[in-house]
Amino acid sequence: MKKTVQKNEIPITAYRCKQCGRIHYPFHDRCLDCKGRDFEPIAPQGEAKLLTFTAIYNLPWGFDQRYLIIGVAEFENKVKAMGQIKADSLDGLKLGMKVHPSWEPVRVTAGEDVFGLKFEPIS
């Protein structure tokens, strides 16, 4: 059975170590700090802050764009994730700027949409 995703829901799960509190995304078998193995799942919440970004010009087969702008952003609850940035160029992007996350198609493979995380800069 396929899970339906609500419009504003970001269907990724991060994991907080119950021993030291470090947040991991994606999942790790052991905490990278304390080596603990007990985690609680957490969902990203709120808007996000852009931590870093770059453009990729040598894309693999299956992408129709000439390049992609991707970045890592941190949500209000400290979950960090990577996604595409909705921008035509690197101009205007700044470290620390607010971005709005969304879960939407990032490309088409074999005639089907492939969904992923996208960030839209908030001016």
pLDDT in tens, 59-93: 887 777 889 999 999 999 999 999 999 999 999 99
Beta bridge partners of 84: 70, 118
Task: Give the confidence band of 6 by pLDDT, cuts at 50, 70, 90.
Answer: low
Q: What pLDDT is stored for residue 1 in this prediction? A: 45
SS3 48: strand
Q: What pLDDT is stored for residue 34 in this prediction? A: 97
Q: What pLDDT is stored for residue 108 in this prediction? A: 80
Other CB atoms within a 10 A radius of the CB of residue 84 amount to: 19
**Structure pTM?**
0.84
DSSP sequence for 30-73: S-TTT----EEEE---S-EEEEEEEEE-SPPTT--SS-EEEEEE
